Copies of this chain bind each other. A is one copy, B any other.
Amino acid sequence: MKQFEKAVSAIGKLSARVSSWPDGVTPVVPAARNEEGFWPSGFRLAGINAGIKPVRKDLMLLLCDGRASAASVFTTNLCTAAPVELSKSHLSVSSGRMRAAICNSGNANAATGEEGMLSATRMAADTAAAFGLKPEEVLVASTGVIGQQLPVAKISEAMARLDASLGKDLWLDAAEAIMTTDTFPKFFGVDVSVTGGTVRIAGIAKGSGMICPNMATMLAFLATDATIEPSLLQEILGAANALSFNAITVDGDTSTNDTASILASGRGPEIIRGSDDAVRFEEALKMVMTMLAQMIVVDGEGATKFVEISIQGARNSDEARMAAMTIANSPLVKTAIHGEDANWGRIIAAAGRSGASFVQDELAVSFDTVPILKPGLDARFSEEEAKKIMSREEFTITVTLGNGPGTAVVWTCDLSKRYIEINGSYRS
């Protein structure tokens, strides 16, 4: 299957999991490569090869026609990459009014010290010079190998070609240019009805956590035509992020470069703080980010299965999340999922070491709608039914802790030999 078709197929499967879209929110799925009208108005994009990688696209530009409201969430890893540091500083200096985001793949510009910071600064300065912006209006991102200096001269030399390639519908070129070992580009969009009309939100993303051979990074670039204050946009992005990109895990390894940024062009209706529109906008953004996050899990290194871990009845939502993440990251749970083994003992053992509080006797586990373990440690279930569910490409494991109102949902994939192959291979 070609990459674009693979992406559309993933969207189809993941959309089928959505029982109902939030009120006023309609998914927008393009039917063809670079389909016109998918990306929110007020932006142009480009994706080209700058020579960092031999052949494939490796440089993306997202340019807003005017000043956009911008917001970003960044990795919490202490070994922060240079572009992350620089983008944080630019967002602050510009009070969240930005014009562009530039991103290269093939090199993470992480653990590169002062020279790396000079390279990131030059990426921003060259972009600003080429497109008539101020350097502090440019967000910078990088993804790829850690600990090697960025060949920044190649990026500088590519500015003219980047300019020549810009187009308002080239979102797929952009999505392809930020890929590392992703096997398909990730994109998704929604329309959301608000008081003043319709707002479009769309985004592209790449790479699942630190899952690539020495490559790093989950990156997402989101755009909307909404008119919205940067501070409100930042609040909404943070809230939506907690339940989308922060709810996925492939291998538990938080990268040095993780970034999700959104630019709002202001061409469309206004979203006002405290309004119903703001609530709806947040719901819609969360749907876009969740779909992109889930596409990352589907495309996890070596992944053959997509599994939702749903925790019910935790003491509170923090404990629910601890249990969900511990189960989702357990190598024993992930290999059992891979082997289609209804090994509920590993699931409750992972919950038991997660730090979440519960009484063993109250635990319940189900796969989709089939109870596997009932309270009282009653594990009389049909192996046949369990196997039938586990043989699917996607299913949900629900664990009920019986200890309160706390819930959490995270998405993960199985752990296969292919993961070892990919990540055990030599860097060069």
Given contacts A77-B352, A111-B345, 12 further A-B pairs with CB under 8 A are A79-B348, A79-B349, A79-B360, A113-B378, A145-B345, A216-B349, A251-B330, A253-B331, A331-B419, A335-B424, A336-B424, A415-B420
Instruction: Give A residues with C-beta under 8 Å from B.
Output: 76-80, 110-113, 116, 145-147, 210-211, 214, 216, 251-256, 330-332, 335-336, 338-341, 343-346, 348-353, 356-358, 360-361, 363, 373, 376-379, 415-417, 419-421, 423-427
User: In the bound complex, how far is the Cα of B425 from the Cα of A49, in angstroms?
Assistant: 44
Is B332 touching A377 in the complex (CB atoms < 8 A)? no
A24 → chain B closest CB, angstroms: 38
Nearest residue in B to A332 (C-beta to C-beta)?
Answer: B253
Subset of 9 A-B contacts with CB under 8 Å:
A111-B348, A113-B378, A216-B345, A254-B349, A335-B420, A335-B423, A338-B424, A416-B424, A419-B420
Complex Cα gap A217–B267 (Å) = 61
Q: Which residue of B210, B357, B361, B376 is within 8 Å of A349 (Cβ)?
A: B210
Determine if A331 and B252 form an interchain contact, defined as CB atoms under 8 angstroms apart: yes
Chain B residues with Cβ below 8 Å from A424 are 335-336, 338-339, 341, 416
Tell me the minimal C-beta distance from A246 to chain B in angstroms. 13
> Known contacts being A341-B424, A420-B420, is A77 close to B349, with CB within 8 Å?
yes
The count of identical subunits is 2
B341 pairs with A427, CB closer than 8 A: yes
Bound Cα distance A113, B348 (Å): 13
Residues of chain B with a CB closer than 8 A to A356's CB: 78
Nearest residue, chain B, Cβ from A425: B339
Given contacts A335-B419, A358-B78, A423-B332, contact A344 B379 (CB under 8 A): no
B78 engages A357 (CB within 8 Å): yes
A343 touches B427 (CB 8 A): yes
Q: Which of A79, A112, A357 has the most CB of B within 10 A?
A: A79
Which residues from B are CB-within-8-Å of A423?
331-332, 335-336, 339
Residues of B within 8 A of A253 (CB): 330-332, 346, 349-350, 353
Contacts of A77 in B (CB 8 A): 349, 352-353
Chain B residue nearest in CB terms to A255 = B349
CA distance A345 to B257 in the complex (A): 12
Bound-complex Cα distance A413 to B363 (A): 32
A210 to B356, CA, bound (A): 19
Query: Across the interface, do A426 and B346 meet the contact criterion of CB distance under 8 Å?
Result: no
Cα-based distance from A421 to B344 in the complex (angstroms): 19
Cα distance, A341 to B345, chains bound together (Å): 34
Of the candidates B113, B349, B378, which one forms a contact with A146 in the assembled complex, judged by CB atoms under 8 Å apart?
B349
